[in-house]
Amino acid sequence: MTPLEPEPSTGHGARAVMPDARFMRSHIAHLVAQGFGSGLSPIMPGTSGTLLGWLSFVLLTARWPQLFTPLNWLIIIAAGFGIGVWACDKTGRDMGVADHGSMVWDEIIAFWLVLLLVMPAGFWAQFWAFVWFRFFDMLKPPPIGYFDRHMKGGFGVMWDDILAAFYTLLLLALWRVI
């Protein structure tokens, strides 16, 4: 683990930790928050986490359709959100950065929510959902940006991505109507 100077957003004098595989394996919360390693990608970790979310959703649903039903996905997503609040809070505190880019569990859970509603429409709908979700997650239009700046801790990390998922679903619904 390489110490770095803290980002201004940490709000305290603690030293931030640069995540690596050793850090990720040091606690189950880190493993979850960092998307089982997808968040350690040196380029666009949020996109890597979203891709892992997409791939895992499609593979699990295709392999075990009787287990991964829409109702069960809702339960998994709700539980995953709660687990993510805990895991991202713990990981953020251990790293000294409230919402480090390597924490991608929020992208995974939020994109599972998008896919739950978009999956039946096929690959191209999923593709455009991916593009729009990443757009909203990176751009953070209001009120996403407000919550991202003002709501810290695990809930804040998870919540702004749920809002990006909502924007994505809203846009796709409007697109379908037009």
What does the domain layout of the chain look like in residue ranges? 2-177
First to last CA, the chain: 51
Give the Cα separation of 147 and 164 in Å (integer): 11
Task: Give, for 3, the enclosing helix (H) or strand (E).
Answer: strand 2-4
More confident position, 125 or 18: 125
Radius of gyration in angstroms for the set of CA atoms belonging to the chain, rounded to a whole number: 16
The residue-averaged pLDDT of 1-30 equals 68
pTM of the model: 0.90
pLDDT at 126 over 60: yes
Residues 6+ apart with CB under 8 A from 25: 31
pLDDT at 12 over 70: no
pLDDT at 14 over 70: no
pLDDT score at 2: 39
The residue-averaged pLDDT of 98-117 equals 97
